[in-house]
Structure 1
């Protein structure tokens, strides 16, 4: 039996070698046991999944295992971005969330993420307890199985992120955007928002294809080559890409140049402090740019440095008033919204920055 190890954001493995239905059962059983011992299990667990091979089946299996422990489960009725699951956990007061995804990894990987009741990556302390249950081979049975309901989780998510930005201003700016979902679970979401608000856009790689043809669903070079070409060919003012489960962002300027996560984080931080003047401190993973330190210092904001893994950022967001937190991989989140990274929300915020300044992304 393959050994299960939790990394910076859950467990991942190669499909059929490590990621097997037996191992999904084991992880789901450990999560159920954690919830029964440490949370109000009556609040239930929300389960979602991405576009990968067997993700939907694995999600239903995880839901069945958790429900067998007497914990009510709401299962996403369709492929859903990971941050939408996190938001649903907090909005609905659930005890936690489970997402079947392997994020930005190659097509032959899959995995499980666990979200805390606060709506973000489970903290190191929580994951230690889940690991303890896993090592004990926990598989709880708590009387009759609880109910499992299939629910839509996208509409509430779209409403929430739309309320976080000024879509009227973005539409008025008359910019044109390219949207690349990289065959991932963000498919159709940003395009729907742009379309509903009269914002000009073109789309690529929105279709369901678990092979992720010729790429890993990671919004960095070389995997965003098609986005760079599309931006130039279609005369767009910027292009936005989200990873396999839509919690990370990559961006492209009007001339096809790649904007890395360090620059995106810096652009957003500077705009929030200079123009929005939102309160709060800043937190960054230790491998991100020190430009953030200089920006924070200029505006008199305390900056925290943390280990790699958004769970450490989420932990700080619950302890302190954090304006923004991010990591080198393109995951950026906001304390006043949710202790979770969100590639779709950050795409909208970059569009908001452009509209507010009246300039394409590269300027």
Structure 2
């Protein structure tokens, strides 16, 4: 069995490929990477989400790292990925490890690697870990490990609470005064994930009246995927509408993504959250910098960046590609269609908790409702409709699919001429006021089809054509 890292770590089905033995192999590969980078007094932060056995897998990672002479700080409870990443930076650790499969179905678990800068590891880091794993298997070198209790006694494994330091940092980015004065009422849905309790606490700290749903520990996630998109947020949308609350806020399984619901129970997608945040950071806070977005993210950001005379860069899907720009340049905001986003002054990591607080600040400062803000945004840089179709498929060659789609492109889509074709990640067809992206998932056997256009009916027509093109080429 070959262990392969995708766009955000290694993920596999629990008890199939995601076993304690394989977790130890991955942990040893990460230990080898850490020791290569910092042979003297290396440290690592280890965290985990609410998935089945995540806490036990995290302990297994800690046992292996500690046996390799690495001091391990392990979170005392399930903890959001951005808080773990912040702890890596706060404690000047060599690396971080997060046990999580993020938004994937409950049967999955995963391992995310974090850099010393407090964000996702670079693709080359993952390749190096894969190489260490292969080399260890070739040499029949078993992972080192010590009993967990021995690690605790020797203080090679140290349980800790990373939240207080994260909370202090968050209040340097969020203006509490307008929130406290606005009498906001929110419903928070952590989707049974690691965000449970954290966002609620921070909102209550600034006077927001909060109701939390799906905050209990449930490794099955109530039978849904812990991904904050429309089809998974029915209970939140219904609850917000019925209770006439100001806003609904959702985070995914490890709280590095955000979704929102307006006062009428309508889903507000990450595209609009990103665009609202960009407007606010420029117009209200007077900040400047590069705008970085993934290839599947709205062109509203392009229009706003042009208006504000800000540089904009488009990357492949995967937050680590955004991180490359954050580490190299002054980035104002970076984000992706899936809900991972961050802002200037924060860690280079998607953070659903921070962005939820920022969205509440925007509501409090600008007044009106979330629906009002979205409608105003559409008047400025819209109107915009968007949808994504996920189509589960059998194994296929991703490179071959991209080659076929780009070498034999359609002249028109939904009756509109194709103006440009990009193969930055998958195949993206750009039209006059719309676009269609056909892209194989980096973590699941899924073909993702994305479309944006001025009206929902055009989006649906584009998705149907995208499905026909993608499935047609796979079955050829």
TM-score, scaled to structure 2: 0.74
TM-fit CA distance, 1:335? 3.7
Q: Specify the SS of the correspondent of 1:284.
A: strand
Q: Specify the SS of the correspondent of 1:52.
A: coil
CA distances 1:196-220 after superposition (whole Å, capped 9, x unpaired):
2221121101111111113110000
- Higher mean Cα deviation, 75-84 or 133-142? 133-142
1:34 aligned residue: 33
The match for 1:183 among 192, 202, 211 is 192
Contact 1:41–1:71 (8 Å) recurs in 2: no
How do 1:236-255 residues align onto structure 2 when only pairs under 5 Å count?
236-255=245-264
TM-fit CA distance, 1:71? 0.7
Contact 1:70–1:141 (8 Å) recurs in 2: no
- The 2-side partners of 1:41 and 1:301 are apart by 42
- The 2-side partners of 1:112 and 1:253 are apart by 34
CA distances 1:233-289 after superposition (whole Å, capped 9, x unpaired):
121111100000000000000001111111111111111111111121110001111
TM-fit CA distance, 1:3? 2.5
- The 1-side partners of 2:145 and 2:232 are apart by 46
2:22 aligned residue: 23
Contact 1:284–1:325 (8 Å) recurs in 2: yes
- Higher mean Cα deviation, 188-197 or 342-351? 188-197
Is residue 2:301 matched to residue 1:292?
yes
TM-fit CA distance, 1:46? 0.3
Runs of 4+ residues deviating >6 angstroms: 142-146
2:407 aligned residue: none
Q: Specify the SS of the correspondent of 1:354.
A: helix
TM-fit CA distance, 1:194? 1.8
Structure 1 gaps of 5+ residues are none
The match for 1:230 among 233, 236, 239 is 239
- Equivalent pairs, count: 362
- The 2-side partners of 1:196 and 1:352 are apart by 13
1:280 aligned residue: 289
CA distances 1:67-114 after superposition (whole Å, capped 9, x unpaired):
111111111111111000100000110001000001001111101000
Is residue 2:113 matched to residue 1:104?
no
- The 1-side partners of 2:96 and 2:342 are apart by 18
2:88 aligned residue: 89
- The 2-side partners of 1:114 and 1:123 are apart by 9
CA distances 1:297-345 after superposition (whole Å, capped 9, x unpaired):
1111000111110001011110111111111110001242111110010
The match for 1:170 among 153, 171, 179 is 179
2:362 aligned residue: 353
1:321 aligned residue: 330
1:358/1:7 Cα in 2 relative to 1: closer, same or farther (>3 Å)?
A: same
Q: Specify the SS of the correspondent of 1:136.
A: helix
TM-fit CA distance, 1:168? 2.3
- The 2-side partners of 1:92 and 1:77 are apart by 16
Is residue 2:312 matched to residue 1:303?
yes
Contact 1:33–1:139 (8 Å) recurs in 2: no
- The 1-side partners of 2:209 and 2:77 are apart by 26
- The 2-side partners of 1:39 and 1:104 are apart by 32
1:213/1:141 Cα in 2 relative to 1: closer, same or farther (>3 Å)?
A: closer
Q: Specify the SS of the correspondent of 1:278.
A: coil
Which of 1 and 2 has greater Rg?
2
1:133 aligned residue: 132
1:100/1:41 Cα in 2 relative to 1: closer, same or farther (>3 Å)?
A: farther
- The 2-side partners of 1:12 and 1:211 are apart by 17
Is residue 2:279 matched to residue 1:270?
yes
- The 2-side partners of 1:304 and 1:139 are apart by 43
Instruction: Work out which structure has the larger RCO, using CA pairs closer than 8 Å and 6 or more positions apart in sequence.
Output: 1
- The 1-side partners of 2:41 and 2:237 are apart by 48
TM-fit CA distance, 1:31? 0.4
- The 2-side partners of 1:122 and 1:281 are apart by 21
- The 1-side partners of 2:286 and 2:22 are apart by 47
